[in-house]
Amino acid sequence: MKKSDKLVVIGGDAAGMSAASKVRRVQKDREIVVFERGRHTSYAACGMPYYIAGQVGDVDRLIARNPETFRKNQNIDVKVHHEVIRIDTTDNIVMVHDLENGKEFSEAYGELLIATGAVPVKPELPGMDAKGVFSLSILQTGINVYKFIENIKPQTAVIVGGGYIGIEMAEALLERGMKVSLVDMAPQVMATMDPEMAGLITDYMRNEGVEVYLEEKLERLEKGVGGRVSGVVTDKQKLKADLVIIGMGVRPNSDLAKEAGIELGVRNAIRVNKKMQTSVPGVWAAGDCSESHHLITGEPAFIALGTVASKHGVTAGTNISGGDAEFPGVLGTAITKFRDLEIARTGLSEKEAKSLSIECKTAQIEARTRSGYYPGSATVTVKLVVEEASGRLLGGQIVGMQGAGKRIDTIATALTAGMTARNIMDLDLSYAPPFSPVWDPVQIAARKLV
């Protein structure tokens, strides 16, 4: 192929490498160059809390393919420790900073894929530069936390933020024997869920030994000997801390695109169409730096999930290599756990539906994960949200013990199919005592709505 057909990819994780791999499968001889500012590619960032907890013995198990594998097996020129610092869409070049030798150089492209991911929200407050303060983003940050725990052996930890990372890290640090506190300025953990469902999570975490402090705003961090963090100060109290995890959410890493004049959209994510094309011809974007289309609202949305990023990448790669694909959209389906408690959600919550002025009704039920007489049967709470006039499903949430969470996939499938509560109630789902009651909990909630 001509040199002008070179594909340059910025970012070497889920979206970037999925796209590069798809292009390579279709176009065997195309020149593909990937710039990654970190040292790892194609890693399971979602596995970092479990590595930190000691449940994953070797960090290499979180890496699907390393840079050398891409170079040797797929002829994809992956350059790690290379940070793209500027995009010139007029001359079709990117300026790159080699982080190892400090040199800068330009790289021409025929087509460009921006897959720069998301970056943690980290407020500029006193003490944030203290040793022992971490935000999880790229794999190296998880490695840094693990090494800090191994070397310093902290006894008390404070987590700021009660979202997915905060909850998973609370579990991880409990497993490492620390006294754990979690602080959030919101009135609940898990802001993507409704308050009554989030309350079940808070109660369980407290019962398991986590001190949960809600409606408390972080004001500063305090330093002790050697510049290490020693305390967390909120607007209500001071908490001792040898280790602090900042888990206040993420924002799209879209500054490069903005500086290049590429159009941004919701929450400053890079605006893309369903083919993952940006506002500039020949420039594509995928993953946590870009928008998605929400299947329920029909509006652009920013949803930073590994599942979405991988699908974005495949869609972009298909189109870059001459195919015709569209990303169908997202529901925000997500699942996590805290010890034995499984937490899942999809679609719109009740509060989200009401904020969009959608007339809705809900049903919340408590049931069993298995037949009540079968060993291991445990409680599960299911909440469904439907459009009042039509009964069309809008969303669902599940909080329960082992065996509860993956039922969210039934709800996500029903949402994608545009099903009503009556349709869900009438589904011919499987039944046997070790797996479910005669009426599955999701169907019990649907039946209550009908």
Known catalytic residues are 46
The edge-to-edge listing of strands for the beta sheet with 156-160 is 133-134, 243-246, 156-160, 179-184, 211-214
The span from the CA of 397 to the CA of 347, in Å, is 9
Residue 383 has φ and ψ, to the nearest 5°, of -125, 130
Contacts of 117 (CB under 8 A, 6+ apart): 11, 13, 15, 137, 138, 253, 287, 288, 289, 309
Amino acid at 67: P
The span from the CA of 429 to the CA of 414, in Å, is 13
Neighbour count for residue 265 (Cβ, 10 Å): 18
Inter-residue contact 206 to 88 (CB < 8 Å): no
The span from the CA of 376 to the CA of 368, in Å, is 10
**What b/e string do you get for 169-202 counting C-beta neighbours within 10 Å, with b at 16 or more?**
bbbbbbbbebbbbbbbbeebbbbbbbeebbbbbb
Inter-residue contact 76 to 32 (CB < 8 Å): yes
Inter-residue contact 334 to 347 (CB < 8 Å): no
Please tell me whether residue 47 adopts helix, strand or coil conformation.
Answer: helix
